[in-house]
Structure 1
Amino acid sequence: MGVLEDKGRARLFYRYLSTVYDRINPFIWNEEMRAEALDMLALDDSDRVLDVGCGTGFGTEGLLRYTDDVYALDQSEGQLEKAWAKLGKRDPVSFTFGDAERLPFADDSFDAIWSSGSIEYWPNPVVALREFRRVAKPGGKVLVVGPNYPRSTLFQKLADAIMLFYDEAEADRMFREAGFERFEHRTMGPSYKPDVAITTLARVPDDA
């Protein structure tokens, strides 16, 4: 387990990162990548969507271009404060302080789940993905963006020491163990690193 897959250390890390996050983020997760992922999710304007690990609201802003019914959750108070300042504390987004592995929502609550730049900090990704499956409606969509595993052996060792990085085979395993049967993966990234991220779109079984 990487250093930042510990929830306490991750919260401390983001307390400080939140002050500069919006200046750093475009070099790793930019608007073009967000637009490509949103196209994959293919939301309707009536969809109720949950953004898990919303951070400062970059992904949430994109979701609001498609639907007004958006909920957002994060375990970092610093990140949520930035998102509140940007988008409003109560309207148009319903913000919640919480944990991806214990979502405070009822079964079958959402048409779609979005999570970008969060899975790498979860100690138990399969547990969180099971929670996504639980709170999404049967036939609903789940989209997760995470860091693609580096090709260099040196960078692989460094990545493993910090947080979760994974490839398509590992994504297959995690989503299958979480109970998903239909999913696809796509790598994406800025022009200088076009495969820095791995995006998975999964469908909740109709009989979930």
Structure 2
Amino acid sequence: MTRADLEKQPEQVSAMFDQVAARYDFTNNVLSVGNAPLWRVATTRAVAPKMGERILDVAAGTGTSSASLASTGAHVVAADFSPGMIEVGRARQAHRAHIEFVQADAMALPFDDDTFDAVTISFGLRNVADPARALAEFFRVTKPGGRLVVCEFSKPPHPLIRTGYGLWQRYAMPVLTRLVSSNDQAYDYLNESIDAWPDQAALARMIQGAGYRRVAWRNLTGGIVALHRGWKPAKAEEPAAGGEPAASTADGS
């Protein structure tokens, strides 16, 4: 079985996700104790897709998040680096008219500048070898006035939640992955990548560094997951200010 490490070599990451594609959604639902659908709903609401908009869903996997976004009539481009994920996604979402699957590298997107009304990525940014480069690509393909939404694992600010989640990762998750995953070693990498990922404020600064403005985040499930949003300045606006402070909003479930 293939697993990636924290160097996140693209061929290793792609091969790892190819191997878990068939059971990926089921495994995520089990490991999140049923929270994955709630995080998906929160992400869709944050993106706020509208009929006729073009939305890029990066690291879309099997298209579960893309289907939620497309339910409003928006056209969703579901991009993923893993051909195995794309294959499973195309089969599962074949009945949906508003989803287009494209194999793409988040660090070198095959789209023109100013193409999408919104760009979103869920639980994929930490798997990219150079997240800052990926965010710069997201900014490039976002239309002026368009928006970015990042849903990613984060750092619970409350000590009790942080400790409890750490125990869950260390003891419960390995047992469950051996039972339900097609590649339990891949989920060892999952835990390592979560632990190494920056906290909410640091990710907000990365998003600002890419050029987005009005960056804010909302904690979900006590901060185990965080939703970050930002907007690309309209052409008439001043360039994004690197020193503009990011803000957090109320915690959500």
TM-score, scaled to structure 2: 0.72
Written as runs of structure 1 = structure 2, the 5 A alignment for 1:164-183 is 164-183=196-215
SS in 2 for 1:131: helix
Report the equivalent of 2:11. 8
| Pairing 1:96–2:65 present | no
Among 38, 54, 57, the alignment partner of 1:32 is 38
CA drift of 1:166 comes to: 2.3
Counterpart selection for 1:71 from 62, 77, 96: 77
Q: Which residue of 2 aligns with 1:202?
A: 230
Cα drift, residue 136 of structure 1: 0.8
Measure, in 2, the Cα distance between the counterparts of 1:160 and 1:84.
28
Distance 1:162 1:30 in 2: 18
- Residues 90 and 111 of structure 1: CA distance in aligned 2, closer, same or farther (over 3 Å): same
State whether structure 2 residue 130 is matched by structure 1 residue 124: yes
SS at structure 1 position matched to 2:136? helix
Residue 185 in structure 1 maps to residue 217 in structure 2: yes
Q: Give the residue type in structure 2 aligned to 1:170.
A: A
Higher helix share: 2
Unaligned runs of 5+ in 1: none
Give the whole-Å Cα distance in 2 for the aligned partners of 1:2 and 1:199.
Answer: 25
> Does 1 or 2 have the higher relative contact order (CA < 8 Å, sep 6+)?
1
Q: Distance in 1 between matches of 2:28 and 2:131?
A: 22
- Counterpart among 30, 42, 51 of residue 45 in structure 1: 51
Question: CA distance change for structure 1 residues 149 and 176 in 2, over 3 Å: closer, same or farther?
Answer: same
User: What's 2:24 paired with?
Assistant: 21
Aligned length: 203
Q: Which amino acid aligns with 1:171?
A: L
Q: Which stretches of structure 1, 4 residues or more, deviate above 6 A after TM superposition?
A: 153-156
Give distance in 2, aligned partners of 1:63 and 1:41. Answer: 8
Taking only the aligned residue pairs, the percentage that are identical comes to 28
1:82 to 81, 88, 92: 88
Give the TM-score of the pair, scaled to structure 1. Answer: 0.87
Partner of 2:245: none
Contact 2:217 2:226 in 1 (8 A): yes
Amino acid at match of 1:12: A
1:111 to 117, 120, 137: 117
How far the C-alpha of 1:159 sits from its partner, in A, is 7.1
Q: Cα RMSD (Å) of the superposition? A: 2.6
